[in-house]
Structure 1
Amino acid sequence: MNSTSPPGPAETTLSVRHLQVAFGTPDQPRTVIHDLSFDVARGEMLAIVGESGSGKSVTALSIMRLLPERNARVRGEILLDGRDLLKLGDTEMDAVRGAAVSMIFQEPMTSLNPVLTVGYQIGEALRRHRGFDRRAARAEAARLLERVHVPQARARIDDFPHQFSGGMRQRVMIAMALACSPSILIADEPTTALDVTIQAQILDLIAELQREERMAVLFITHDMGVVAEVADRALVMREGRCVEHGATDDLFAQPVHPYTRALLAAVPRLGAMNGKPRPEPFSLVDVDTGEFRPAPALRDTLDPSAAPVLEVSGLSTRFDVRGGLFGRVTARVHAVENVSLSIQPGETLALVGESGSGKSTIGRSVVGLNQPQEGSIKLEGRELLGMPARQLRDARRRIQIIFQDPFASLDPRQTVGAAIAEPLLAHGLADPRSVHEHVAAALAKVQLQPDMSRRFPHEFSGGQRQRICLARILGLQPRLIIADESVSALDVSVKARIINLMLELQADLGMSYLFISHDLAAVERVSHRIAVMYLGEIVEIGPREAVLNNPQHPYTRQLLEAVPIPDPTRRRNRAGLAGWQRERSQTHAPTATLPQRVYRDVADAHRVMVWE
């Protein structure tokens, strides 16, 4: 496909022509961007979409001239209001950054200085580029924080970044980016690390500011649902090349390139499982040929008449806050409060909610990584809390956990074969002579080649590393796997393949899952039942279809309204999205006792907390 876009509109703000980027030495360059061309007009939002390694972020850094000059060679033209940024000197480019072109990064905490107040950091751009004095910069910084809807902005201007939540820090970054009224805003995965409700608020904020400021926006993402929500046009990248480029409506309605069709096929769509009583794998499209691959038919392993694999009753996990000269306990964070749930053999129970709701704390408490203060945890009828160490070691073999970041779960100095063999040898499930056969069998179960056992973690992609983490625990023959945001950091097609693999393993081995996630569309695909958590408590629990199609609690409805719909013809006005919430603090006095919550039955096995 010709990567040159059609001639830009009359009010073109940014024009990229025949961009090529190569890394390495002049003798052995490795080209990562190939002949890329596109335009962004005033008041328009162009989304650059693709998976990790496609060249999206390198394109953004090339525009900002932030690639290291020592080993990066950038060719072509990058015209901002007719001015070629690649021909500017360092001093001239410094005047452009933050003034005519601004950028928002994925992780605001790495972009903000932790020892400077947010007001000072916003004012720095105003003093440098607009000549404001300190008093005027402070007043304008407060106005900008109000502009991006930071509550009590004038009172919080002297707060430090760590005193803000992730969503509020991203608002601070947006305020900083808008300080000098740039011609174009580059947003590089600005919502990927955020909860679904916070993501929706940030997307609405960027769209609102774009309309009011008539600003061009270059939005970089791998989330096709986000593209459908906000973008006027979309450019799909793969391996440094543009494979498809057009109006968002047209691209979603009639994708031409096989890779675009594959991306859209892998997007979880809320409501796709209506009328389907059990989890079902994704139907995928081959990224090279465009060939449709229907989902395999899997048997349902759920046995509702059997004794539960896991029974959690009245679980409360709290963390001490210490202060004063002698480090006395001054308060306690009630991370999980009076939670009860059960999981049947072959069942997947999904825990959903925002960051800080207590989902991961439940998972870590169940496997013994956190020590609960109250309650009961039974695995196959045996109480884990207070169990003697020798018995607990054997019981923990039957319950395993997969974390969000597989690279952090693997020793970078250890081959993956050794990582898989280690727990087998520790639990006596294999001896040194036969362990290689067990490792090969475990790799085969997760669709990896046995000879990969000699490689190290850095030699694998993110999706392959997550498969390795699965292989490492499968050899232990667990009855229950806790998947703690295990697919949330993966690209959309990789996420779909990992979910399919987990469902196939469940069908083959009869395992149960506690699937922890904030992605409701993915949860719908994998779960039999759903429990919704808010501020450490379960506010609604029931069969998947009942919770998603007949949500009773305001917070559940709020979560559902925030899910991006991968259909540009169904964009919603989500004003007032965060209209319901209780007091958000979970920190209480050491002796505080929270009121006992009351639940009502909606239907069979569908319960909801009575709210005020």
Structure 2
Amino acid sequence: MDRIPEPLLSVADLRVSFRVQDAWREVVHGVSFHLEAGETLAIVGESGSGKSVTALAIMRLLSSDQSRTEGRVALGSQELTSLSERSMQAIRGNRISMVFQEPMTSLNPVLSVGYQIAEALRQHRGLTGRAALEEAVRLLDRVHVPSARGRIKDYPQQFSGGMRQRVMIAMALACQPDVLIADEPTTALDVTIQAQILELIKELQADTGMAALFITHDMGVVAEIADRTLVMYQGHAVEAGSTEHIFKAPQHAYTRALLAAVPRLGDLKGKPQPEPFNLVDTATGQTQTPTFEASLPRNDVPPVLAVRGLTTRFDVRDGLFGRISARVHAVENVSFTIQPGETLALVGESGSGKSTIGRSIIGLVPPTSGSIELEGQDISRQPRTALAALRRRMQILFQDPYASLDPRQTIGQAIAEPLLFHGLSDRSSVADQVAGALRKVSLDPDMASRYPHEFSGGQRQRVCLARILGLQPSLIIADESVSALDVSVKARIINLMLQLQAELGLAYLFISHDLATVERISHRIAVMYLGEIVEIGLRDAVLNNPQHPYTRQLLSAVPVPDPAYRRHRATAIDRVGMDLRTQRHPLSYVTPDRTYRNVAPDHMVLAPA
């Protein structure tokens, strides 16, 4: 009788507990699953469901002093839970690799990215010197880091968030592992690069038989890549099965709630305004319909923000004395306006200049040229005292709310501080204003005494919104503000932002690479490529009648949350019809004149150079 082969990775009755005030608290409750060679399993669930803790337990990366792991984890026939730390070091990064969600905390800021990738090659594959660096260049090329050879000596802080994640993926794939554990690996990536990375992982699985364990909140990615799906809720595996069956006939109320919160590109086709999500209660499975309607922008008044000819460049220094040898043209001659109550979405891949525009507007990055007018006043021509008051009227909401909050301050203090600084409150009344701000974002005022680490990611983003709203801004720049949140939390934050816009007339500059979410929240869309806006217009026109090749590429790369659609997608993302320029230019470079042509009213596309 033939012997049935063992799974590549098997997890049986996994239980993880953490020490809390001298007592053990179990957070993962008897989870079991297996992975065959070449197979992809997706673990989905909201923040705190136990997904990442499960992965860390498999890798033996939890502190033995503060955690306790029970159950069985086997790589083939080798039991991992009983291995010595030295034996596990030979497996980590070699037979099992892991890509973490936040690359900046995983990369060493004092070592070049080339050195860090080569380190794994030296440790596990025996490559040394030039051979290791050449292989590192090849790996960076394979994950589509532009000018990989020229960037091999750069440090992590010199890369954008999406570029750092590509470095982490290159490092994880360096030793061609048997199992790849990917914890939100494409969260920071734009859709085109995400599609290329997913395709790369599929190629490696086909070539080497690598198994992949995907931890993600992106149901489009799950539908695109996963053979089977495991749904986790409050530390329990509540549903498991083939991905196609999970999407077609979800059985658990939480699974239905998760799928109901997934935005699908095309849902708002033909509709002129944004639309909030209908949410499903995780306990009862009942649909919750929002009680408000999203607003239309006011076009009968002057714009809140007018950006004209904005250009931002960065010097590139080389040599012993740091001589300026080139410049990166991060943003080149960008112009747009935003009306009261309007949301303009900036979309494009990492390095296209989206975030640089937001930081240039708010004053975190000095622009090279151009004008920025807020409510009719040119920011660059204001005296210092007037500028502080003007900047209060525009606020920025960052991607990582935890990094935006001082861990030593209570959230009440964090919300009160700008109110006191700008003279909008005094010590006697600030507590009432803090309570009011928390109510606006659907948080209990009693939470004011808590610290940031006591909140979930979605709650921390609400705290950041509350701090901003206290300053009564007319413009909020949201820079990837929901991209790191799981789908149900993201949907609630989007609904909250739409409700606040309808009530307060707020204008948003919404910077994102998630086109399905952009469709939900935006009135107009500007598509960026290599520092320039290549297409701008009403949301419905840009999404359903794209004119620029890059816009069409972006839309074709969006993962569809339907496993049946996987068979109809192109197997590779191409840049046919697009120029492959670089944003790094010599000092003598003169930017060519660029013109736009009107495709339709309020719809313009960049003409070919």
- Relative to structure 1, the CA distance from residue 164 to residue 372 in structure 2 (aligned partners, 3 Å threshold; closer, same or farther) is closer
Aligned to 2:596: 599
User: Does residue 1:331 correspond to 2:323, yes or no?
Assistant: no
CA offsets 1:500-524 (integer angstroms, 9 cap, x no match)? 0010011111111111111111111
CA offsets 1:393-424 (integer angstroms, 9 cap, x no match)? 33222222222222222222222223222332
Aligned to 1:306: 301
Aligned to 1:213: 208
- Relative to structure 1, the CA distance from residue 280 to residue 597 in structure 2 (aligned partners, 3 Å threshold; closer, same or farther) is same
Name the count of aligned residue pairs: 604
Moved more, 405-414 or 538-547: 405-414
- Relative to structure 1, the CA distance from residue 155 to residue 296 in structure 2 (aligned partners, 3 Å threshold; closer, same or farther) is same
Q: Is the 8 A contact 2:407 2:452 kept in 1?
A: yes
Q: Is the 8 A contact 1:50 1:56 kept in 2?
A: yes
Distance between the aligned counterparts of 2:137 and 2:307, measured in 1? 49
Q: Is the 8 A contact 1:126 1:137 kept in 2?
A: no
Aligned to 2:315: 320
Q: Which amino acid aligns with 1:495?
A: K
Aligned to 2:398: 403
Aligned to 1:609: 606
CA offsets 1:94-118 (integer angstroms, 9 cap, x no match)? 4444444333333556556677777
Give secondary structure in 2 for the equivalent of 1:542.
strand
Aligned to 1:4: none
Given the alignment, which residue of 289, 296, 301 partners 2:291?
296
Moved more, 40-49 or 224-233: 40-49
Give secondary structure in 1 for the equivalent of 2:380.
coil
Given the alignment, which residue of 479, 484, 488 partners 1:489?
484
Given the alignment, which residue of 234, 242, 259 partners 1:239?
234
- Relative to structure 1, the CA distance from residue 501 to residue 337 in structure 2 (aligned partners, 3 Å threshold; closer, same or farther) is same
User: Does residue 1:582 correspond to 2:584, yes or no?
Assistant: no
| Structure 1: gaps of 5 or more residues | 1-7
Q: Is the 8 A contact 1:280 1:295 kept in 2?
A: no
Q: CA deviation at 1:606?
A: 0.2
Given the alignment, which residue of 344, 348, 351 partners 1:353?
348
Q: CA deviation at 1:137?
A: 7.0
Give secondary structure in 1 for the equivalent of 2:484.
coil
Q: TM-score, structure 1 length as denominator? A: 0.90
Give secondary structure in 2 for the equivalent of 1:32.
strand
Aligned to 1:5: none
User: Does residue 1:394 correspond to 2:389, yes or no?
Assistant: yes
Distance between the aligned counterparts of 1:111 and 1:454, measured in 2? 31
Aligned to 1:467: 462
Q: TM-score, structure 2 length as denominator? A: 0.90
- Relative to structure 1, the CA distance from residue 244 to residue 129 in structure 2 (aligned partners, 3 Å threshold; closer, same or farther) is same
Distance between the aligned counterparts of 1:450 and 1:27, measured in 2? 30
Q: Equivalences for 1:407-556 in 2 at 5 Å?
A: 407-556=402-551
User: Does residue 1:558 correspond to 2:548, yes or no?
Assistant: no
Aligned to 1:73: 68
Q: CA deviation at 1:327?
A: 5.0
- Relative to structure 1, the CA distance from residue 103 to residue 373 in structure 2 (aligned partners, 3 Å threshold; closer, same or farther) is closer
Q: Is the 8 A contact 1:562 1:577 kept in 2?
A: no
Q: Is the 8 A contact 1:602 1:608 kept in 2?
A: yes
Give secondary structure in 2 for the equivalent of 1:86.
coil
Q: CA deviation at 1:324?
A: 5.6
User: Does residue 1:265 correspond to 2:240, yes or no?
Assistant: no
Distance between the aligned counterparts of 2:312 and 2:487, measured in 1? 33
Distance between the aligned counterparts of 1:414 and 1:126, measured in 2? 43
Q: Which amino acid aligns with 1:73?
A: R
- Relative to structure 1, the CA distance from residue 303 to residue 401 in structure 2 (aligned partners, 3 Å threshold; closer, same or farther) is same
- Relative to structure 1, the CA distance from residue 561 to residue 310 in structure 2 (aligned partners, 3 Å threshold; closer, same or farther) is same
Q: Which amino acid aligns with 2:595?
A: V
Aligned to 2:15: 20
Q: Is the 8 A contact 2:372 2:379 kept in 1?
A: yes
- Relative to structure 1, the CA distance from residue 154 to residue 533 in structure 2 (aligned partners, 3 Å threshold; closer, same or farther) is closer
Moved more, 201-210 or 538-547: 201-210
Distance between the aligned counterparts of 1:324 and 1:217, measured in 2? 43
CA offsets 1:513-568 (integer angstroms, 9 cap, x no match)? 11111111111100110011112211100000000001111111111112111111
Distance between the aligned counterparts of 1:157 and 1:418, measured in 2? 42
Aligned to 2:100: 105
Give secondary structure in 1 for the equivalent of 2:232.
strand
Give secondary structure in 2 for the equivalent of 1:87.
coil
Aligned to 2:377: 382
Q: Which amino acid aligns with 1:550?
A: N
Q: Is the 8 A contact 1:349 1:515 kept in 2?
A: yes
Give secondary structure in 2 for the equivalent of 1:340.
strand
Give secondary structure in 1 for the equivalent of 2:428.
coil
Q: CA deviation at 1:242?
A: 0.4
| Structure 2: gaps of 5 or more residues | none
Moved more, 23-32 or 558-567: 23-32
Q: Which amino acid aligns with 1:457?
A: P
Give secondary structure in 1 for the equivalent of 2:419.
helix
- Relative to structure 1, the CA distance from residue 388 to residue 603 in structure 2 (aligned partners, 3 Å threshold; closer, same or farther) is same
Distance between the aligned counterparts of 1:457 and 1:470, measured in 2? 14
Q: Which amino acid aligns with 2:395?
A: Q
Q: Is the 8 A contact 2:160 2:350 kept in 1?
A: no
Given the alignment, which residue of 1, 17, 30 partners 1:35?
30
User: Does residue 1:229 correspond to 2:212, yes or no?
Assistant: no
Identity %: 64
User: Does residue 1:275 correspond to 2:270, yes or no?
Assistant: yes
Distance between the aligned counterparts of 1:117 and 1:419, measured in 2? 35
- Relative to structure 1, the CA distance from residue 425 to residue 119 in structure 2 (aligned partners, 3 Å threshold; closer, same or farther) is closer
